[in-house]
């Protein structure tokens, strides 16, 4: 099993789709926080760019993140808001201090 890590997801909404994306991201927060192996799942919006959202997540392992990606609530998010996303990036970070 892999080691714990922090993930930072960056999502940029298509113009005019930011409210739909925000609502769909908000719906992910509570069920994601309740998942085994998730110790942080926080949604942020860029104050300088209202199209850009960040999700700061902490997962116990890569396997736990993959289970999250396969979960019903994440699949619903993709079906509901996938078309609203202009850009997506996920960075995996390992703590060093």
pLDDT exceeds 70 at position 9: yes
For 9, half-sphere exposure in the C-beta direction (CA atoms, 13 angstrom radius) is 18
**pLDDT value, residue 94:** 95
Q: How many CA atoms lie within 13 A of 73 on its CB side?
A: 14
What is the per-residue pLDDT across 31-86, written as a single tens digit (0 to 9) for each? 999 999 999 999 999 999 999 999 999 999 999 999 999 999 999 999 999 999 99
> Alpha-carbon distance 89 to 10, whole Å?
5
pLDDT at residue 1 in the model: 57
In terms of pLDDT, which residue wins out, 1 or 93? 93
Report whether 5 contacts 57 (CB < 8 A). Answer: no
In this predicted structure, the answer to whether residue 5 has a pLDDT above a threshold of 60 is: yes
Half-sphere exposure of 14 (CA within 13 A, CB side): 8
In the chain, how many domains are there? 1
Domain of 71, in residue numbers: 5-93
Average pLDDT over residues 20-34: 98
Number of CB atoms found within 10 A of residue 20's CB? 15
Instruction: State residue 2's pLDDT score.
Output: 84
- Least Cα distance to 17 among 91, 80, 75, 90 occurs for 80
The CATH number that applies at residue 18 is 3.30.70.100
């Amino acid at each position: 099993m892999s080691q714990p890590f922090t993930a930072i997801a960056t999502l940029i909404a298509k113009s005019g789709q930011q409210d739909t994306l925000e609502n769909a991201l908000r719906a992910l927060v509570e069920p994601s926080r309740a998942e085994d192996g998730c110790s942080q799942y926080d949604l942020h919006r860029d104050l300088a760019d209202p199209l850009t959202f960040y999700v700061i997540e902490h997962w116990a392992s890569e396997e736990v993140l993959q289970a999250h990606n396969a979960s019903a609530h994440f699949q619903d998010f993709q079906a509901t808001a996938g078309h609203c996303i202009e850009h997506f990036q996920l960075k995996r970070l390992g703590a060093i201090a």
